[in-house]
Amino acid sequence: MDEPDETLMARYAAGGDRAAFHTLFERYAARITAYFRRATGDAVVASDLAQTTFLHVHRARRDFDTSRSFRPWLFAIASNVRREHWRRIQRKPEAPLEAGPESSVPPQASTASDRLVRRAVEQLPDNQREVILLRWYSELSFPEIAQTLGIKTTAAKVRSHRAIKALRALLGGTDV
C-alpha cells in the first residue's frame, strides 16, 4: 500500500529521506506542472515554476505540519510561486530571446474552445482565477482549496460560484 503523503513528508523533513521526497515528486510533479501550464499557457514556464515549487517544498520542509494535509500545503506553495511569477513579469516584462508569435502555445496544442476558455479564465480577478485553477484543473476539494488559500470553505465556494458566473458572462452564456 502507498504511504500517505504526510508520512512521506514527515520522513523527508525529519531526516532528509530522499526516497520519500522522490516519491512525493513523482506523485505531484505532473499535477503541479499542469496547474502552471493552465495558469501560464507556456510549457517551459510551467516546468520552471514546478521546479521552483519543489525547491520551496525542500526549503520549507521543516515547516510542514504533519497534522495537516500535504496536498493543500503543496498547492499553497505553488499558488505563491504563481503570484510571485506574475508580480515579477509585471514589474519587468521579459522579452523572448527569439522573435516569434506572441503566444507560446501553438494553436494545434489545444482546441479552439480550450483557448477561448483559457482566455476567459485569464480575465477573471486573481482570487477567482486561483479557485478555478485549483478546483477544476487541479481537482482540489473546496476544503483543500480553503486550506491552500487560508480562507474558509464557504469563501472558496463563493469565489468559485462568482468565477463560474463571470465565465458564463464572458463566454456568452455558454455552459462552462
Eight-class DSSP state of 96: P
- Cα distance between residue 138 and residue 132, in whole Å: 9
Rg (CA), the chain: 17
DSSP-derived secondary structure letter, 141: -
Sequential pLDDT tens for the chain (176 residues)? 689 999 999 999 998 899 999 999 999 999 999 999 988 888 999 999 999 999 999 999 999 998 899 999 999 999 999 989 888 877 765 555 554 444 444 444 567 777 788 888 888 898 898 899 888 878 889 999 998 899 999 999 999 999 999 988 988 875 55
pLDDT at 123: 86
Structural domains of the chain, with CATH: 1-106 (1.10.1740.10), 110-176 (1.10.10.10)
C-alpha cell at 107: 494553436
Residue in the block written with cell 468559485? 160
> In this predicted structure, what is the pLDDT of residue 8?
94
Cell of 136: 477544476
In whole angstroms, what is the distance from residue 69 CA to residue 143 CA?
A: 11
H helices present in 62-152, as ranges: 70-91, 112-123, 126-132, 142-149
Model pLDDT, residue 88: 84
Task: Give the integer Cα–Cα distance in Å for 23 and 20.
Answer: 5
